[in-house]
Chains A and B, each alone.
Chain A
Amino acid sequence: AQSVSQHNHHVILSEAASLELGCNYSYGGTVNLFWYVQYPGQHLQLLLKYFSGDPLVKGIKGFEAEFIKSKFSFNLRKPSVQWSDTAEYFCAVNVPSGGGNKLTFGTGTQLKVEL
């Protein structure tokens, strides 16, 4: 079964700092990759997704992620964070199969952006 690792559990940054959150997955075949964000007290929202094609994907709110197949990674980046980016970020992977549309999530990274 596939698994997802997010190594940074808590990240604290100042406004305007650059962000990179790590995500690694374990599965040797074709995968679909996602980053979700959960603002305090809210439900999960999709930030960006990768299915195929250009490994550098751009999402909402200035976020982007790069799929590096050789490293089994899908790191999330933002050049300049804002206070409003304070949230929990989840990486997720889906293995296309007949067993349902299951997303396997990482344990999440809590990002706090300080003014």
Chain B
Amino acid sequence: EAQVTQNPRYLITVTGKKLTVTCSQNMNHEYMSWYRQDPGLGLRQIYYSMNVEVTDKGDVPEGYKVSRKEKRNFPLILESPSPNQTSLYFCASSSNWLSYEQYFGPGTRLTVT
């Protein structure tokens, strides 16, 4: 089954404790992206990657890092999480950057206390 998977689905952590949210897709997609969803703000793009080893900032990149060492994986790293990063995070992928239809993962609900 073609899908985007994220782990963990739920995470409660404390301020300053480094964490990684994994994202993996099995569709051989080139383009991957991270969004955060906050009430009243919709979804905002954090980072995106057009291909392996190619990443760039989205609209709200502060406090986040990403890497794209393999085509299928695009982990989101929070080096020092803060409470304002409490949010619902979605990973998405599409076949390439010209393909505007994106497939979303199930989401990761992160709480930083």
Contacts and interface: CB of A to CB of B under 8 A. Distances in A.
Interface residues of A, number: 25
Given A43-B107, A49-B100, A94-B100, A102 B58 contact: yes
A49 B48 contact: no
Contacts of B105: 43
Contacts of B94: 101
B1 to A, nearest CB: 14
B42 A101 contact: no
B97 interface: yes
A41 B56 CA distance: 29
Contacts of A46: 101-102
A84 interface: no
Nearest to B30: A101
Interface of B: 4, 31, 33, 35, 40-45, 48, 50, 56, 58-59, 90, 92, 94, 97-102, 104-107
22 contacts: A9-B40, A36-B104, A42-B106, A43-B90, A45-B104, A46-B101, A46-B102, A49-B100, A90-B43, A94-B100, A96-B98, A101-B31, A101-B94, A101-B97, A101-B98, A102-B33, A102-B48, A102-B58, A103-B45, A103-B102, A105-B35, A107-B41
